[in-house]
Amino acid sequence: MATPAYQVAHLSPILRPDIINERNGKRNLLGREVNGTPLYCRSLQGIRIIQAAAGAGRTMLISDAGQVYAFGKDSFGEAEYGVQGTKLVTSPQLVESLKNIFVVQAAIGNFFTAVLSREGRVYTFSWGNDARLGHHTEPNDVEPHPLLGTLENIPVVQIAAGYCYLLALACQPSGMAVYSVGCGLGGKLGHGSRTDEKHPRLIEQFQLLNLQPVVVAAGAWHAAVVGQDGRVCTWGWGRYGCLGHGNEECESVPKVVQALNDVKAIHVATGDYTTFVVSEDGDVYSFGCGESASLGHNAIADGQGNRHANVLTPQLVTSLKQVNERVVQISLTNSIYWNAHTFALTESGKLYAFGAGDKGQLGIELVNNQTERGNPERVDIDLS
């Protein structure tokens, strides 16, 4: 998962026992000082990592034994005004409060962190003041709290965290369903309003669309789902065209992206006003904010000097076609800040990067005062 100034290279479902990392060497968020060159995190030698979650200032790693390691800022979320926790943890440390929970996934928002247990239970840290996530806790609380409400007796199979909200893909007797909780600004909770939800609430629109969700993604301010039939739905804040509906309007309930009607999607990734869709053929489509060339279209400057136009409907990322391999997964910046960049993983485990690289976050060398890479370039690591 990508964040503004660094990238944890751990995308493939075929997993390696070590984590490779690279980042801006100024802030020690990846456990060691490095500048743009991927390096193994030696302190995790002998531990097999199955999932990595990267936030704006914190990284969490999940081992195959269900243990969680974290480094970066020493809190699980930011306060709404100011930073909670000024200490930096510069090497992966076991999260003691999760030792008795077998964790299979972590998701990091801005104000909170969430983890998913092997049994399908969701636990959250921080942002509990005013019961925003169904519990009353301090922003710097380090104890996990079970997500209460309708999901207490419904197993969850995937979670996704946006800036200030959480999505959960759950397995119900009638099929898969999506629940949302948190801040409703922009309609990103998908219930037809902009009202906050303090407990998980079922997004009913998928039943009306006759769509069975199988993949869920939470961007900073918008969300997306891939259906079992390959359809893609988006909703939330539509700024820069990140919903793919040909405009910049907000959508308060999931809406099918009509421009992808002839595409059978298998994967979707959402970031800060950007969206990527991967088809079953390995083609990649992107739309939304074109800043820093992170959409992969490498646009030519127009008469006003604007090289990175916003894309209001899905466009094929032709530059990824040139790698002559099937893309299976995309990871991109999920932050409201800057340094937008994107990674593409191929079927054979090759990793390609493009977008902003001024903080070393691409893992490739930029020359002649370059600050970004318009076309995908191979990162010199093997994730097969």
pLDDT range class, residue 338, cuts 50, 70, 90:
low
In the sheet that holds 175-182, the strands lie side by side as 156-161, 165-172, 175-182, 197-202
Q: Are 294 and 332 in contact (CB under 8 A)?
A: yes
Full-prediction pTM beyond 0.75? yes
Say which CATH topology domain 2-379 has. Methylamine Dehydrogenase; Chain H (2.130.10)
pLDDT at site 378: 92
In order, the DSSP letters of 179-192 are EEEE--GGGTTSSS
Sign of CA dihedral 147, 266, 103, 175: positive
pLDDT at site 328: 95
pLDDT at site 136: 57
Instruction: Output the six-digit token pair for 301.
Output: 């400057």
pLDDT at site 129: 58
**DSSP 3-state assignment of 287?**
strand
Q: What is the pLDDT of residues 56-95, one digit of tens each?
A: 778 899 999 999 999 887 666 654 444 445 578 888 999 9
Identify the residue with better confidence: 1 or 185.
185
- Count, in order, helices (H) and strands (E) of the chain: 2, 28
Q: What is the pLDDT of residues 146-168, one digit of tens each?
A: 998 999 999 999 999 998 999 99
Q: Which residue type does 39 have?
A: L
**DSSP 3-state assignment of 217?**
strand
DSSP-derived pairing of the beta strands 341-346 and 327-332: antiparallel
